[in-house]
Structure 1
Amino acid sequence: MAGPTAAPTRREPTPDEFVAMQQSPEFQELRSTFRGFTFPVMIVAFIWYVVYVLLATFLPETMARPFLGLNVGLWLGLAQFLTTFLITWIYVRWANANIEPRAAHIRQEMEG
C-alpha cells in the first residue's frame, strides 16, 4: 500500500521580488485590466441599487402599482437579485478569460 504523496513544494518569493513584480509592466497591465472592468460594473450596480432604494422611498405609490400579478416594487426587487447573479456570472466568465491566465503566469514566475 502506497503512502500519501507529498505536495510539490513552492518557492516562497522574497519581499523584494513581490515589490519588483508589483512594479512590472505585466502586473500593471493585469491590474489595469481588472480595474477597467470591475470599477464601471461596480458603479453601475451601485447606481441601480440606489435608484431602487430612492424609488421605494420617494415613490411608494409607483412601487405599489400592480404589474403582472405582483407590484412594481417586487419586480424591481427580484430584478436586483437577477442582476446580481448576472453580474457575477459575467464577471466569472470574463475573469477566467482575461485575468486568470495572466495571474497564473505571474504566480508561476514568482513561485517557480
Structure 2
Amino acid sequence: MPQQQTSSPGQGQRFDWWAAPAADTASEPAAALRRTAVPAQPGPARTAAAPEPVAAPLAPPVARPLAPPVVPPVPPVPPVAPAVVAQEPAAPVSTTDRTEVYRSVQASAAFRDIRRSYRRFVFPTCGAFLGWYLVYVAAEAVVPGVMRSPVAGPLNVAWLLGLLQFASTFLLTWLYARNARTKRDRAALGLRWDTQDQLR
C-alpha cells in the first residue's frame, strides 16, 4: 500500500487553498438563479424612459441703470438780421465847404447873442471874485491889527474872511450853472444842430 505523502505547502505553492470552496459556493446561487429565471415573454418592446430634463436654476435679475430719456435735438433758430434801410450816400463835404459853414455860423445873429450873454455874466463875475480875493490879501498886509480882531471866541476877522472865500467860490459856481441853463444852453443846442445839418 503506497504511503500517502503529506507535505506542507512549499515554494511555488499557493496559500489560498482554503478560499476555493468559498468561490464555488458563491457561484452556486448565481447559477441557480440562471436556471430558475423566467423566460422573457413576447410583447411590445419597452423602451427606456428618457430622463427628464433638469431645469437650470434661474439667475437673479441684474439691475441695469436706467437710460436717460432721448430728447430730439432742437434745430437752431437762425438769427434775424436787422433790417437795413438803404440810404443814399451823402456827398462828401470838402474842407472849403466846412470852413464856409463855420464862418457863416460865426457871423449869424444867434451865435452873437449866445456869445454876448456869456460875456455879460462871466466878465463881471470873474472881476468881482478876483477883486474880493485881492482885498482879502491886501487887508492882511496893510491892517493886520484889524484882521486879528476877535469876532466870536477864537474866530477873528482873518478867519471869517478866509471862510467867506470858500463860500463865494461855491456861490459863483452855482450862479454860472443857473445862468447857462436858463439863457444859453437851449440856443447853443439849436445852433449846433443847424451846423450839423449844413455839414451833411
TM-score w.r.t. the length of structure 1 is 0.84
Question: Rg: which structure is higher?
Answer: 2
Structure of higher RCO (CA pairs closer than 8 Å, 6+ residues apart): 1
Q: Percent of aligned pairs with the same residue? A: 35
From 164, 167, 171, the equivalent of 1:86 is 171
Q: Which has the higher helix share?
A: 1
Match of 2:134 in 1: 50
- Structure 1 gaps, min length 5: 1-11
Matched, 1:96 2:181: yes
Alignment RMSD, CA only? 1.8
Distance in 1 (CA, whole Å) between partners of 2:193 and 2:122 is 24
Give 3-state SS (helix, strand or coil) of 2:173's partner: helix
* Structure-to-structure mapping, 1:4-83, within 5 angstroms: 14-69=98-153, 70-83=155-168
Return the offset for 1:15: 2.0
Distance in 2 (CA, whole Å) between partners of 1:111 and 1:61 is 61
State the 4+ residue runs in structure 1 displaced beyond 2 angstroms. none
Give 3-state SS (helix, strand or coil) of 1:14's partner: helix
- Structure 2 gaps, min length 5: 1-92
Per-residue deviation, residues 17-70 of structure 1 (Å, max 9, x unmatched): 111111111101110111111111111111111111111111111111111231
